[in-house]
């Protein structure tokens, strides 16, 4: 039984405005045990490859900041000792969700991060973070390289990513994120479809003009589902009265209602709403997560490896939240299977008790870049792969046939 179902059966979550009171989420005093050795034998990276691949989306994805109908996927691979590790930079083409773009990430990797990574052997994850630390920001660019490094480390040890980072779940609960639709009927049809597939939680993208009435109707038709909303920063504190109406719908959470860098107004909004606020865009690293929790800006955190700058930061936020009994879940960025495989590993950690935005490959693309594709079970879970590294094969032929650009950065001593 999933932890969510368990929490629901205990009757303590949806019925209780304060998720922290769920028995499953009581503060843990024990230290999180993790086999991931932050230190490893020094590894001389020989080459970094950056590649962009255009994958059409099965249908347009619309949020409060715009609509896209294809995804320019940014893959990075690194080579050492005859092995290749794969990562994904989750930046979009335009600076809307975040200031980073495919273009800024390419520049920062090409001119700063890859040269730093190639300049000397890298002795583990902590050393890689240190190598990047003097460059400010550009978390998605840093994370892309870090993901590739962690995949390489896992392959070299013949461990799965999940094993390497100390994951405890064999399967992870998943939900679906549904974009803004041209009509309410189209949204309702998608809600039905994804519930029938088994997804354990439905998240609706909202914006002014597509919010209260939409949520009311979905909730009326589905009184018992786990339902949440994501505003992607579309409101201000001046909308507080309007947002409070959402308290009527027994939502699991409201994600990022206000501006990305405003923890103060989020704290004010949380103090007058019973629905837990979940922060996404605002949480750019462990320090910001600590501030948000101390200020009461949110009660749930969405962790995205790209947004926070890599596994090391994602693990630190997880550990902080786990020790405080704050639920976390794994967000998504419409990744290809490569980024998705990393998300599955992250979501296998103990604190990820709420369903992640980790949908089946077929929810996004006609065909994915990995084999087998990610599938969702009829009871709304994704199996955590056990094979070495990502645990999926890379479909290099398919990647090559959709490649838009490739650049290689070589180390000095080949």
Active site positions, annotated: 205, 304
Instruction: Choose between 64 and 77: whose C-beta lies nearer to Mg ion.
Output: 64
Q: Which stretch binds Mg ion (CB under 5 A): 8-16, 222-230, 285-293, 382-390?
A: 222-230
**Distance in Å, CB of 370 to ligand OSB, minimum:** 15
- Does 62 contact Mg ion by CB under 5 A? no
- Does 335 contact Mg ion by CB under 5 A? no
- Does 352 contact ligand OSB by CB under 6 A? no
- Does 280 contact Mg ion by CB under 5 A? yes
Instruction: Choose between 78 and 218: whose C-beta lies nearer to ligand OSB.
Output: 218
Single residue of 200, 228, 270, 359 touching ligand OSB by CB under 6 A? 359
Single residue of 139, 177, 200, 228 touching ligand OSB by CB under 6 A? 177
- Does 49 contact ligand OSB by CB under 6 A? no
Q: What is the total count of residues that contact ligand OSB (CB under 6 A)? A: 11
Three-state secondary structure along the chain? CCHHHHHHHCCCCCCCCCHHHCHHHCCCCCCCCCCCCCCCCCECCCEEEEEEEEEEEEEEEEECCEEEEEEEEEEEEEEECCEEEEEEECCECCCCCCCCEHHHHHHHHHHHHHHHHHCCCECCHHHHHHHHHCCCCCHHHHHHHHHHHHHHHHHHCCCEHHHHHCCCCCEEEECEEECCCCCHHHHHHHHHHHHHHCCCEEEEECECCECHHHHHHHHHHCCCCEEEEECCCCCCHHHHHHHHHHHHHCCCEEECCCCCCCHHHHHHHHHHCCCCEEECCCCCCHHHHHHHHHHCCCCEEEECHHHHCCHHHHHHHHHHHHHHCCCEEECCCCCCHHHHHHHHHHHCCCCCCCCECCCCHHHHCCCCCEECCCCCCCCCEEECCCCCECCCEECHHHHHHCEEEEEEEECCCC
Instruction: Choose between 109 and 253: whose C-beta lies nearer to Mg ion.
Output: 253
Name the residue with the smallest CB distance to ligand OSB.
332
Instruction: Choose between 163 and 359: whose C-beta lies nearer to ligand OSB.
Output: 359
Q: Which stretch binds Mg ion (CB under 5 A): 54-62, 280-288, 341-349, 359-367?
A: 280-288
- Site residues, ligand OSB (CB under 6 A): 97, 177, 230, 232, 280, 331-334, 357, 359
């Amino acid at each position: 039984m999933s932890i969510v179902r368990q929490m629901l059966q205990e009757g303590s979550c949806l019925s209780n405005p304060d998720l922290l009171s769920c028995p499953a989420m009581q503060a843990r005093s024990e230290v999180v045990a993790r086999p991931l050795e932050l230190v490893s034998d020094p590894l001389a990276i020989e080459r970094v490859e950056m590649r962009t691949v255009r994958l059409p989306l099965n249908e347009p994805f619309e949020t409060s900041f715009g609509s896209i109908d294809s995804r320019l996927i940014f893959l990075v691979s690194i080579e050492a000792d005859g092995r290749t590790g794969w990562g994904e930079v989750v930046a979009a083409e335009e600076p809307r969700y975040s200031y980073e773009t495919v273009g800024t990430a390419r520049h920062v990797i090409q001119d700063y991060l890859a040269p730093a990574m190639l300049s000397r052997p890298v002795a583990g994850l902590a050393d890689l973070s240190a190598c990047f630390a003097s460059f400010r920001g550009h978390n998605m660019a840093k994370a892309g390289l870090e993901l590739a490094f962690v995949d390489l480390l896992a392959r070299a040890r013949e461990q799965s990513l999940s094993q390497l980072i100390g994951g405890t779940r064999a399967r992870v609960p998943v939900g679906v994120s549904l974009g803004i639709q041209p009509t309410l009927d189209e949204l309702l049809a998608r809600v039905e479809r994804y519930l029938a597939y088994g997804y354990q939680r439905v998240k609706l993208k909202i914006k002014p003009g597509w919010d209260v009435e939409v949520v009311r109707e979905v909730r009326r038709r589905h009184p018992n589902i786990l339902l949440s909303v994501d505003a992607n920063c579309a409101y201000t504190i001046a909308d507080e009265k309007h947002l409070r109406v959402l308290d009527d719908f027994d939502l699991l959470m409201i994600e990022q209602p206000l501006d990305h860098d405003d923890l103060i107004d989020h704290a004010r909004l949380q103090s007058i709403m019973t629905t837990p606020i979940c922060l996404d865009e605002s949480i750019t690293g462990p320090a910001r997560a600590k501030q948000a929790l101390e200020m009461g800006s949110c009660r749930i955190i969405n962790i995205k490896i790209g947004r926070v700058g890599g596994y090391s930061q994602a693990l630190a936020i997880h550990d902080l939240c786990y020790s405080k009994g704050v639920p976390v879940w794994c967000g998504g960025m419409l990744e290809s299977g490569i980024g998705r495989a990393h998300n599955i590993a992250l979501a296998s950690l103990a604190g990820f008790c709420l369903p992640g935005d980790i949908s089946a490959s077929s929810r996004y693309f006609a065909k994915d870049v990995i084999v087998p594709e990610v599938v969702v079970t009829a009871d709304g879970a994704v199996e955590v792969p056990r094979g070495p590294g990502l645990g999926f094969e890379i479909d290099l032929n398919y990647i090559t046939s959709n490649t838009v650009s490739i650049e290689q950065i070589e180390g000095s001593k080949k």
